[in-house]
Amino acid sequence: MHQVTPTRTFMGGLDHNDDLLAALTKICQNENIKLGKVEAIGAVKKAALGYYNQDKKEYSYFTIDRHLEILNLTGNISIKDGKPFVHAHVTLADDQGNSFGGHLIPGTIIFACEAIVQAFDGPEFKREVEPVTGLPLWE
């Protein structure tokens, strides 16, 4: 574990019809945030999520093509391939209270979203593929 210090916090709404992951990533790129955390609530028009199969060491992807509430989005910001990278998981619910969740991937379209992006000072956390899990984890 490493000590990090919160430095800057950005709060606000994300644009209707934007891709959720792209919108969060754009904030990090525009503000040069290379270390931090993200969180959000709101609603999406449709969702695209991933699930990591630990036995096969590969992601499977699925979409939910209906309106959903964002119950929780939480994630972190680090460096992957030399650029700010947002790694986020999201829990969503339908109109019956059924929940769905997974790794946020491109294709989740915002209806309305309020997000918080917090930058930290600290050592660079770079993602490299870790051989035991096959995942791009912090070195």
Q: What is the pLDDT of residue 90?
A: 98
Q: What is the pLDDT of residue 139?
A: 82
Q: What is the pLDDT of residue 82?
A: 93
Mean pLDDT for each 10-residue chunk of the chain (139 residues)?
Answer: 96 98 98 98 98 96 98 97 96 98 98 98 94 92
Q: What is the pLDDT of residue 65?
A: 98
Residue-wise burial string across 2-34, b where 16 or more C-beta atoms lie within 10 A, e elsewhere? eeeeeeeebeeebeeeebbbebbbebbeeeebb
Which domains, ranges and CATH numbers included, belong to the chain?
Answer: 7-122 (3.30.1330.80)
Say if CB 138 and CB 80 are below 8 A apart. no
Say if CB 50 and CB 59 are below 8 A apart. yes
Which pTM does this prediction carry? 0.95
For strand 99-104 and strand 136-138, is the pairing parallel, antiparallel, or unpaired? unpaired
